[in-house]
Amino acid sequence: MNDEAALQAAPATDPLGPEVMTDSAGKPHELGRRNDRLLLAAVIAYAVLLSILMISRGISVTPDVVVVSFGLAALLLGRGKLFLRDWIPFVALFFAYELMRGYADKFGLPIHVSDIVSIERVIGLGGLPTQFLQGLFHAGPATSPDVLASIAVVFYFLHFPLPLAVGFLLWIHQRRIYYDYVGALIVLSMAAFATFLLLPVAPPWWAADPLKAAPYCGGACVTGVLHLRDTGFNGLSSFFGFGNYFYSYSVYSISSNDVAAFPSLHAAYPFLAFLFAQRAFGKVGWLMLAYTACVWFSVVYLGEHWVVDIVGGVAYASAAYFVILHGPSWARRFMAQVADEEIEAGVEAEDEGDVGALRRLGRHVRWSLVAQGAVVALLGAGVAYGMNTMGWLGGSHNALYLVPWLALLGGLWRGSAGLLSR
């Protein structure tokens, strides 16, 4: 065999992945891509099965539980350290936003109710879309059994966890896009927080509550609108045969905000996940749009959001997507630096997972950074506990309560930066 024939017969690594190789005719084998699809299918099946088991056993599908579950999956895939490096900052920022969101209604700005109802009546051609849907599908008072409400509550359950699952799929499949996705989530969340701060908007169930709406309307601002979320919960409980949920929405109750309806993050997060899923996975990503539409229907039917909230959520998500993909060059360079694509390439090319890859790349754990982060996080946790239980510095209702939480989250960020250092 001459040299030219030998070169043609020898397998060559394709830049699309370490297992995508070419044959003697120069055509790419599909082994790498097929294995990639199988891995993604396995992760999707894992997420679906996990959600079904948790809901059927009365365990709320909350982001903290989902992240731990995906961490276990990453460990099995040999990417445990990489998962900690990439996900601890993301989760820290996510929880920081959840904490700050609850303070957005504590600045005394007027709550918008009647003006939003007027806009909603324009959208509904004189009626309220929530009232129309409930009149069409729900018979009797709010406590009447409602199968559709129970199905809608399942989509309500998955409002935060499913976008996290999309993030995990992106992290497995195209880690660089994962970082763009995280950046867009942060931009979206911070823009929503600023809106909640300046424009507190009451949701439909709040506007229909005479006690809450009385200062604004002399009674209920709208009539005939039911709050069906608890009805849906009770339907699930009766169907699966459990009592109360074993694990409640503790993440969201850290600092809740009843008048953060616009923009609807129930609409925005899934739609942003769809935009990135479609970009990364092509036609398969369009399935996420179908799920997103179900979430939109569910939050309106349950009385959790107005249609105008959904329109706002879609607009905010689209803007965040555009800002991240077409932002200034310095921001793109920063994202590339944070992603550190050398690590990803090394892990994908190494059969031993991230352990062997990091050893070959000369990456190691910088215990000094990990220790610094741990100390700051523990101090933040201690002060937060003291403010919450013993009333230090004015207690947890003081805006200073954000400081120890930010110290806690900043410490976690600092510690994760030391996991895969040069």
DSSP 9-78: HS--EETTEEEEEB-TTSPBPSHHHHHHHHHHHHHHHHHHHHHHHHHHTTB---HHHHHHHHHHHHHHTT
Which one of 308, 327, 346 terminates a domain?
327
Same domain? 311 vs 368: no
In a 3-state reduction of DSSP, which class is residue 395?
Answer: coil
**So what's the pLDDT on residue 130?**
92
How many residues does this entry show for the chain?
Answer: 422
At a CB cut-off of 8 Å and minimum separation 6, what does 206 contact? 113, 212, 213, 258, 259, 261
Domain annotation covers residue 264: yes
104/51 same-domain check? yes
Do 276 and 390 belong to one domain? no
Which pLDDT value is given to residue 70? 80
SS3 state of residue 257: coil
Residue 275 confidence (pLDDT): 95
- CA–CA dist 183, 48 (Å, integer): 25
Residue 128, domain extent: 29-327
The Cα angle at residue 131 between residues 129 and 137, in degrees rounded to 5? 100
How many degrees, rounded to 5, is the angle at CA 313 between CA 309 and CA 317?
175
Q: Is residue 189 part of a domain?
A: yes
Query: Is 356 domain-assigned?
Result: no
Do residues 153 and 302 make contact, with C-beta atoms less than 8 angstroms apart?
yes
Cα distance between residue 265 and residue 303, in whole Å: 15
Same structural domain, 76 and 176: yes
Do the domain assignments include residue 139?
Answer: yes
Q: What is the pLDDT of residue 284?
A: 82
In this structure, is residue 143 part of a structural domain?
yes
pLDDT at 292: 92
pLDDT, block means (10 residues), the chain with 422 residues: 44 38 42 57 70 62 71 78 79 69 68 90 91 88 83 82 83 85 89 88 90 80 86 78 52 64 92 93 87 93 94 96 86 72 55 51 70 86 79 73 78 71 60
State whether 400 and 266 are in the same domain: no
Same-domain status, 98 and 228: yes
How many domains would you assign to the chain? 2
User: Residue 51: inside a domain, yes or no?
Assistant: yes
Question: pLDDT value at position 108?
Answer: 67
Q: In whole angstroms, what is the distance from residue 51 CA to residue 56 CA?
A: 8
Q: Are residues 292 and 406 in the same domain?
A: no
Of 178, 158, 13, 161, nearest to 79 by C-alpha is 178
320, 368: one domain: no
Residue 143 φ/ψ region, left for φ over 0, alpha for ψ in the -120 to 50 degree band, beta for the rest: alpha
Same domain, 118 and 200: yes
pLDDT given for residue 289 in this prediction:
92
Q: Indicate whether 14 belongs to any domain.
A: no
Domain assignment of residue 15, yes or no:
no
